[in-house]
Structure 1
Amino acid sequence: MKGISILGATGSIGTQTLDVVRNSNDDFKLIGVTANSSVDKMKEIIKEFNPKYIGMMDADSAIKIKEFCLENNFKVQVYSGMEGLIKISTLDEIDIVVTSVVGMIGLKPTIAAIEAKKDIALANKETLVVAGELVMRKAREEGVRILPVDSEHGAIFQALQGNEIKDLKKIILTASGGPFRGKSKDFIKNVTLEEALNHPNWSMGSKITIDSATLMNKGLEVIEAHWLFDCNYESIQVLVHPQSIIHSMVEYRDASIIAQIGSPDMRLPIQYALNYPKRKEKVAKEIDFYEITSLTFEKPDIDTFKCLRLAFDAGKKGGLMPTVLNGANEVAVSLFLNKKIKFLDIADIIEDAMTIFEEYTHNDITIDNIIELDEKVRKYVINKKG
């Protein structure tokens, strides 16, 4: 039985990971979980799984969870803030950490887990976007496996099994295109928040759903793929595939292409990452090819959805530029979610920040420099637009 911790257990990936654990026939023991401030959801997790350790980022929420555990005689240790994330990432009892928190907050606990020699089931894109070089190097040094949970990277990971990385010619990342696929700038300049959150295929958290609508989600995945699979940016192609049946593909030097196909259900890549290299009985719906009328593919419109272009630019420039990209995007998406800016403003804000902070991006890639620059970028965007 594997001991696991889930960072971000009440979010979209976290709740689907709990479902995989729930249906695992006792292959896993849930040792630790964290959340931001979802007290009611955390109470339900405690009642069902009885984990030994809880982390709540919000201090008041941590107090409420402590009171609940005392009242109901649950023998649970409760932590708050970043201390809790790091503690629950490094417990002696765990073998693998599912990092499903959203944003830069996932960086420190992921690094701590690697240093504690825990395998990482990675669903936190931002960790590799801002610190891919550090994370992958440290994982190699500690003998730790980074197992991708994103459906696209999970698909690539599967398509690479049994083959040599030297034979890889191209990674083809598929994208649904989001709710505004095929729409013009004139159409989307006044779209509402509700329209942007209406993803056609996937049920995700609000930040990731907006990233999908701007195609920034795919841009972050490009940078992530660069580090996960040691692939240069010229060999990574994004392909819009509205049906979300082919989750990504790998082309080899002999022109053979291997695709991973499955239902648009995140439990499939989660289950594979947690059980790798074994496969278990399905938790996702089977594909019935008789019901699929067509699979279509399109070139992404990087003029209308320029976040994808900006992500490629940031990745190619390297250094700390992806930190600027990510920090500006997180703040811009938050502003849009709070209806303080328009949809197309998100990309403009990111582009402006990348220009303003160009001189900072050549500093050494260290955790301290990443965090310092991230804070500067966020303050700049907030002061200008917030």
Structure 2
Amino acid sequence: MRDIVLLGSTGSIGTQTLEVIDVHRDQFRVVGLSAGGGNLDLLVEQAQVFAPDVVAVPTPSAAAALHGRLPRHTAIWSGPDASQRLAALPCDVVLNAITGAAGLEPTLAALAAGNSLALANKESLVIGGALVTSAAAPGQIIAVDSEHSAFAQALRAGRADEVRRLVLTASGGPFRGRSRAELAHVTPEQALAHPTWNMGRTITINSSTLINKGLELLEAALLYGVSLDAIEVVVHPSSDVHSMVEFHDGSTIAQCSPPDMKLPIALALNWPERLPGVCRGFDWSRPITWSFEPLDSEAFPAVELARRCGHAGGTAPAVYNAANEVCVDAFCAGRLSFLGIVDTVAAVVDEHLAGAAAAVLSVEVVLAADAWARRRAAELIGGAA
């Protein structure tokens, strides 16, 4: 029996994680749930079904709204550090499904407590960089992203010194094949209509701009110790091949499955063992065709911008992520164009790199860069409005 703490339980990854656990009650026990407070009814329902020891929310008002609605033995923790405290609770696995930079301190808390960290919150690794990787014991971080889970599985086929490159697949999002000019009038509704995956708002918008693939590029380099220039992004519209590893003899190992996030979630919860029957396999009695094509970096410059930030190091990835979070909100509110998202992120990154002094990474340094990038992005958006 593995004890699980789930951070971000009411989001897309969180709800799918609980669906996996519900089918395997003989192997997992939920001891803690945290959520941002935007869907307290769902959090109550989850607590009633899984009866955790602790539920954590960020504000006293959210905590007050939970009183009398949870199982009698379930404690309620509240405050801005509630998820961080929950991540340090003794358990077997902390699955961090918080969205955005808010996941950094819970990630570090889970690692410091010695808990295995199933990481769906890629932003905490990207912005924390060496601050996170140096805090982790070998094998302590387990990837939940389908692409990074694919790398972990394919890398079992050879030694680290045999790897030539990682091939990171991308669906291309809803606007694959469009030129930059054709993206000028994209609406939030169009950007939220992802052709393959059902995800939360921010990740879905990030997938349409390919910012998400830029974050995944940085994450892959940090997780697997591979040079940024040895990671290639390839567009694969059907999302059946989740990523590939090419070895120095020319052999390429691909991890494939129908697109279903429950598979990498289940593997992360039970790593390194697989759970049976998590998702359907392919129907090989019917024709299947897979296609791959190069990424159009002119129409979608977010990946190469991320690569530039990764080469710069320091707080540049934190600036990339923070500016984007502000831009996504502005785009969804109708205050910024679709092309303006990555253009504004690039402007903030350029300004940061032109004036940033090298600093030893710490939580305070990362969060200060995050705060500056948010302010500067908001200023540029306001000035353009």
Secondary structure of residue in 2 paired with 1:279? coil
Matching of residue 364 in structure 1 with residue 360 in structure 2: yes
CA distance in 2: counterparts of 1:213 and 1:255, whole angstroms: 32
1:118-158 residue CA offsets vs partner (Å, 9 max, x unmatched): 00000001011111211111113xx5610000000000000
In 2, are the aligned partners of 1:6 and 1:99 still within 8 Å (CA)? yes
Of the three residues 120, 135, 151, the one matched with 1:123 is 120
Secondary structure of residue in 2 paired with 1:258? strand
Task: Give me the CA root mean square deviation.
Answer: 1.3
Ranges in structure 1 where 5+ consecutive residues have no aligned partner: none
Aligned-residue sequence identity (percent) comes to 39
Counterpart position of 1:83: 81
In 1, are the aligned partners of 2:344 and 2:380 still within 8 Å (CA)? no
Secondary structure of residue in 2 paired with 1:166? helix
In 2, are the aligned partners of 1:118 and 1:144 still within 8 Å (CA)? no
Matching of residue 199 in structure 1 with residue 194 in structure 2: yes
CA distance in 2: counterparts of 1:87 and 1:138, whole angstroms: 17
Counterpart position of 2:308: 313
Matching of residue 332 in structure 1 with residue 333 in structure 2: no
1:314-340 residue CA offsets vs partner (Å, 9 max, x unmatched): 111112111111111111111112221
Matching of residue 104 in structure 1 with residue 101 in structure 2: yes
TM-score norm. by structure 2 comes to: 0.96
CA distance in 2: counterparts of 1:366 and 1:61, whole angstroms: 30
Of the three residues 251, 257, 261, the one matched with 2:256 is 261
Counterpart position of 1:238: 233
Structure 1 stretches of 4+ moved >4 Å: none
Secondary structure of residue in 2 paired with 1:239? strand
In 2, are the aligned partners of 1:5 and 1:31 still within 8 Å (CA)? yes
CA distance in 1: counterparts of 2:109 and 2:164, whole angstroms: 34
Amino acid at match of 1:297: F
CA shift for structure 1 position 18: 0.4
CA distance in 1: counterparts of 2:286 and 2:190, whole angstroms: 28
- Return closer, same or farther for 1:11/1:170 CA change in 2, 3 Å cut-off: same
1:76-127 residue CA offsets vs partner (Å, 9 max, x unmatched): 11112332101210112x1110000000000001101111000000000101
CA shift for structure 1 position 278: 1.1
Give matches, 1:60-71, under 5 Å: 60-69=61-70
Of the three residues 371, 377, 384, the one matched with 1:375 is 371
Amino acid at match of 2:62: S
Counterpart position of 1:171: 166
Counterpart position of 2:21: 21
Secondary structure of residue in 2 paired with 1:6? strand
In 2, are the aligned partners of 1:159 and 1:259 still within 8 Å (CA)? yes
TM-score norm. by structure 1 comes to: 0.96
CA distance in 1: counterparts of 2:307 and 2:357, whole angstroms: 15
In 2, are the aligned partners of 1:360 and 1:373 still within 8 Å (CA)? no
Counterpart position of 2:134: 137
Secondary structure of residue in 1 paired with 2:129? helix
Secondary structure of residue in 2 paired with 1:9? coil
CA shift for structure 1 position 357: 1.2
CA distance in 1: counterparts of 2:268 and 2:262, whole angstroms: 10
CA distance in 2: counterparts of 1:218 and 1:290, whole angstroms: 33
CA distance in 2: counterparts of 1:164 and 1:376, whole angstroms: 41
Matching of residue 180 in structure 1 with residue 179 in structure 2: no
Amino acid at match of 2:31: I
In 2, are the aligned partners of 1:173 and 1:237 still within 8 Å (CA)? yes
Ranges in structure 2 where 5+ consecutive residues have no aligned partner: none
